[in-house]
């Protein structure tokens, strides 16, 4: 199996794709993650706003898909405008809160009591879905006997709310998480995410939460349906959520190296969350992406860069671990080896500079 083969099992590429035209014209909808792609905390990521604005003028529709459930789509749109992305609006934002409310509707009737742990976005989405919202901040909130507990990140979430959630779940309430992200990128580094909060309730109850946040494909599918798109592209920075969700939805995924997952992480990625394209930042959507190809002596070549696996170790050409083509060549070499059952020593895979 080469890096361009399609597996018979799932009909998905296991390697990087080839695009003879820039991604901005190849696809009709970009499903864009926020944290790590557009912003880092409250700070803009370099080249993001100008790239997305230019892409919009070229006809690429955009929906911003975020595992953040703490704020409403209207608030997200306002934040994006503040970052220089003027062409967006609330209808072009899909949050994990909206997905969580949609998941609740699959089992609960309108008017059902739902205990909510989180921020404004989750409260608003659950109320809009027709549920009776019980804030976990209310004294003895679990005594209201909610049918479900839904949890989303908010900086105000503290032990008392987690305790009420645990009490309710132990009494039989359905546990739903807006997402299971263990960490949250901020301007200062990585902080505990909603997955860390949910894990405390899971530990106290033994109940595994349901979630339609990424890597579930639900948010992507909801957005594609709403936009009536036929050829979407997922753009994200996290392999485990953004790119894993792309694989789950069978949509092509572009990984940008501006957030959580590194180039080294991409090289080590299992088939379930491998990207189809890799770029340094959002300017890569205006580029043609040529897939690496196999050359002589087991070298995998991307542009003028090469990589191969010898004796279970990654070997790079004399230019070392610099440049995006080195990353792409390394991905092809390591993925091809592992797909042939060869275990590549992770210590041989360096950190890359792009």
CATH class held by domain 97-211: alpha beta
Cβ-contact 83, 127 below 8 angstroms: no
Whether residue 31 has pLDDT greater than 90: yes
**Residue range 57-69: average pLDDT?**
96
The mean pLDDT of the chain is 93
Boundaries of every domain in the chain: 19-67+214-289, 97-211, 292-354
> Are the beta carbons of 67 and 179 closer than 8 angstroms?
yes
Q: Which residue has the higher pLDDT, 278 or 35?
A: 278
Q: How far apart are CA 308 and CA 325, in angstroms?
A: 13
pLDDT at 229 over 90: yes
Q: Is the pLDDT of residue 4 over 60?
A: no
> In this structure, are residues 12 and 250 in contact, taking their beta carbons and an 8 Å threshold?
yes
Q: Does residue 33 have an active-site annotation?
A: yes
| Residue whose C-alpha is closest to residue 85's, from 60, 48, 30, 59 | 48
Fold match between domain 19-67+214-289 and domain 97-211: yes
Contact 2, 298 (CB under 8 A): no
pLDDT of residue 14: 67
Q: Are residues 325 and 302 in contact, defined by beta-carbon separation less than 8 angstroms? A: yes
Quick: pLDDT tens for 236-272.
999 999 999 999 999 999 999 999 999 999 999 999 9
pTM of the model: 0.88
Residues 316-345, mean pLDDT to the nearest whole number: 96
Whether the pLDDT of residue 13 is over 50: the answer is no
Mean pLDDT of 106-122: 97
Which pLDDT belongs to residue 6? 27
DSSP string, 223-285: HHHHHT-SSEEEEES-IIIIIHHHHHHT--EEEETTSSS-HHHHHT--GGG--SEEESSGGGG
| Annotated catalytic residue within 18, 28, 35, 317 | 35
Task: Reply yes or no on whether the pLDDT at 305 is more than 80.
Answer: yes
**Is residue 10 scored above 80 in pLDDT?**
no
CATH node for 19-67+214-289: 3.40.50.1000
Q: What angle do CA 62, 63, 68 make, to 5 degrees?
A: 145
Band (132; pLDDT cuts 50, 70, 90): very high
- Per residue in 192-220, pLDDT (tens digit) is 999 999 999 999 999 999 999 999 999 99
Confidence of residue 108 (pLDDT cuts 50, 70, 90): very high
Contacts of 188 (CB under 8 A, 6+ apart): 41
For the question of residue 43 being annotated catalytic, the response is: no
Residues whose CB is less than 8 angstroms from the CB of residue 172 and which lie 6 or more positions away in sequence, other chains included: none
Triad 19, 66, 264: Cα angle to 5°: 55
43: exposed, middle or buried (Cβ count in 10 Å: 0-12, 13-18, 19+): exposed
The pLDDT value recorded for residue 11 is 34
Q: How confident is the model at residue 107 (pLDDT cuts 50, 70, 90)?
A: very high
The runs of H, that is alpha helices, within 139-239 are: 159-170, 194-205, 218-227
Catalytic site residue from 18, 28, 33, 304: 33
Cross-strand bridge partners of residue 61: 29
Q: Identify the band that residue 185 occupies on the pLDDT scale cut at 50, 70 and 90.
A: confident
Whether residue 32 contacts residue 38, with contact meaning beta carbons closer than 8 Å, is answered with yes
**H-helix or E-strand containing 48?**
helix 48-57
Cα torsion angle, 285, 289, 291, 293, sign: negative
- Cα four-point dihedral sign 66, 69, 73, 77: negative
């Amino acid at each position: 199996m080469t890096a361009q083969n399609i597996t018979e099992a799932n009909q998905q590429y296991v390697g990087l794709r080839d695009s003879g035209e820039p991604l901005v014209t190849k696809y009709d909808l970009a499903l864009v993650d926020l944290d790590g792609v557009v912003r880092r905390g409250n700070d803009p990521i370099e080249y993001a706003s100008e790239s997305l604005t230019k892409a919009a003028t070229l006809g690429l529709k955009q929906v911003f898909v975020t595992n953040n459930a703490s704020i409403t789509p209207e608030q997200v749109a306002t934040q994006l405008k503040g970052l220089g992305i003027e062409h967006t609006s609330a209808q072009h934002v899909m949050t994990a809160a909206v997905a969580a409310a949609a998941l609740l509707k699959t089992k609960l009737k309108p008017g059902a009591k739902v205990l909510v742990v989180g921020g404004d976005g989750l409260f608003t989405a659950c109320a809009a879905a027709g549920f009776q919202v019980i804030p976990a901040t209310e004294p003895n909130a679990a005594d209201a006997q909610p049918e479900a507990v839904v949890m989303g990140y908010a900086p105000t979430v503290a032990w008392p709310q987690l305790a009420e959630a645990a009490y309710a779940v132990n009494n039989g309430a359905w546990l739903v998480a807006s997402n299971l992200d263990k960490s949250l990128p901020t301007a200062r580094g990585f902080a505990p995410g909603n997955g860390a909060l949910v894990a405390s309730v899971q530990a106290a109850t033994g109940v595994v939460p349901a979630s339609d946040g990424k890597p579930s494909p639900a948010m992507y599918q909801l957005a594609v349906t709403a936009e009536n798109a036929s050829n979407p592209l997922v753009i994200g920075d996290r392999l485990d959520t953004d790119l894993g969700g792309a694989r789950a939805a069978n949509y092509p995924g572009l990984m940008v190296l501006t957030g959580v997952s590194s180039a080294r992480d991409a090289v080590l990625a299992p088939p379930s969350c491998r990207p189809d394209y890799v770029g340094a930042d959002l300017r890569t959507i205006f580029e043609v992406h040529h897939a690496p190809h196999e050359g002589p002596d087991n070298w995998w070549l991307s542009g003028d860069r090469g990589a191969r696996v010898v004796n279970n170790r990654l070997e790079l050409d004399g230019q070392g671990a610099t440049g995006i083509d080195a990353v792409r060549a390394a991905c092809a070499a390591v993925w091809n080896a592992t797909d042939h059952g060869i275990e590549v020593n992770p210590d041989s895979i360096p950190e890359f500079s792009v």
